[in-house]
Amino acid sequence: MGNICINIGGGGGITSDDVTTTRDNVLTGFKTLMKDSNDEPVEGTIPVYHGNVKAEAVYLDDNQVTFSSPYGYSRFLEDSEDMRTYRTYGELAGALGLNANKVAVNNTVLGVAGTYKGLGNATAAQVLSGYTFSSSNISNGTGTLSISSVVSFRIAQYSNLTLIASWALPSRGPWSGIRVVCKQGGYPSNANDGTLFYEGSGTSAYKTLAAGVWYFTAWNYITTNTGRLYGSYVQASANNVVVHGQQVFTSSGTFTVPTGITSIDLFGVGGGCGGHAYRTNADESDGIAGGGGGGYTTTVRNLSVAPGQVLNINIGAGGAGGIVPSRKPWDPLKASSGGNTTISRNGAELLAAAGGQSYAPWGINAPSTIYGSNGGSGGGGGGRSITAHGGYDGSDGQGTASYVGKGQHTTTRAFAESSNTLYAGGGGCGAQSRSGGNGGAGGGGNGQSYSNYGTAGVAGTGGGGGGGVNASGSPGGGG
């Protein structure tokens, strides 16, 4: 007896209603059940291109090549055995016009080993040592050009507590300048270790430094757009000392520069002004005569000279003292200013120190007769109740403030050194009814009491003369 099987509840399997794929999502030549195929398998419509397809763009990943063409994107796995269309690296390089001369040497692109070295024409001798380069003829070359070392570097005593460094300019190689650094206790280890002695493109320099041994290091350098580059260094040392020895002129003459001397210091003091004089009237009980101002002082340091050169020395004379006449009219003659001291070379003035200055007008009972004179140190000025002394070391004279002579207010010691000889003391004020004022230290003459001549300024010091009442003043000391 036969059996009949009846399926209840609908048919089995997948229908077009169960899928979303359409013909334009499937390659030509392949069939499958699609959404619009009415439950029947149909062929896709995506074309498959064989042969050459012009790529508009190529994208390379780790293991695949993707082409962008007018027809859209097509992706192929390089290691797929069944891919239908592919391009080798060589084909891609050809399509791109890529060749070895367009790839940098030591690099490979799409299988093309580069040979391009650049367009430069530099050689190893034109590139600094320690730097690499490539050019049209050289690949990854190393430069051999070095910054020139400092040549003929020397340190010597230049003058008192002053050292001079000298060197020669390099004859070849790159060069922008030299940097010289110094310090005590050991050589500078780098270009910023110590005191900068010199930097620039000259061939010598000098500098005043503390006493003792100084150690110098010098570098040539070049300046680039990436900063400064230093070459190798040289070193030298010298003992910086106080240089003793000087020649003093108290009268005019000449000085010839000795052998081996290339620098000297100069000091000059002008002649002191003469002391003033005053003639009293019969009813006066306290006449006063101001002291003369000391000569002004000047110092010149590190003057460059050459052996055999001649310097002309002109010493300023001390000014004459004021004179009291022995008969009418009683107008005293005023004291004279001191002469100027100068030093010159070949007609060119190297130093000038003015003499102490006198006052005008003068006459009996003229108030100006009681003024101290201005100068390197001021003369003592009028003061009827005090004894007015001369100034010293650049100070004003003593006495009534409005009458004292004004000093230069800087030291009058030789070469402006605190331990050196003092010059240009101001003269003391003369007085009628008490002792005259003392002359200032450094050669100032003493003022005297009634009818006594003032004391002259000391010769060779530029000291001012002391004043005298009813007696002539004294001359100032020469410079």
pLDDT digits (tens, 9 = 90+) for 87-119: 677 777 777 788 877 777 778 887 888 777 766
Domains and CATH numbers, the chain: 91-142 (no CATH), 151-240 (2.60.40.10), 245-479 (no CATH)
* Mean per-residue pLDDT, 351-379: 69
pTM: 0.50
- CB burial readout 402-438, b (16+ within 10 A) else e: ebbbbbbeebbbbbbeeeeebbbbbbbbbbbeeebbb
Per-residue pLDDT, 149: 74
Is the model more confident about 147 or about 44?
44
Q: Say how far apart CA 362 and CA 158 lie, in whole Å.
A: 51
Per the model's pLDDT, the better-predicted residue between 10 and 292 turns out to be 292
The answer on pLDDT for 352 being more than 70 is yes
The predicted structure's pLDDT at residue 56:
46
Q: With cut-offs at 50, 70 and 90, classify the pLDDT of residue 80.
A: very low
Task: Write down the mean pLDDT value for the chain.
Answer: 77
Q: Confidence band (pLDDT; 50, 70, 90) for 136?
A: low
pLDDT for the residue numbered 299: 95
Residue 208 has pLDDT above 50, yes or no: yes
pLDDT reported for residue 263: 87
pLDDT of residue 110: 79
Residue 52 in this model has a pLDDT that exceeds 70: no
Query: 342 versus 466: which is more confidently predicted?
Result: 342
pLDDT tens digits for 234-287?
Answer: 899 999 987 766 888 989 999 988 877 888 999 999 999 988 877 766 555 566
344 or 418, which is more confident? 344
Confidence of residue 292 (pLDDT cuts 50, 70, 90): confident
> Does residue 59 have a pLDDT over 70?
no
Over residues 373-398, the mean pLDDT reads: 77
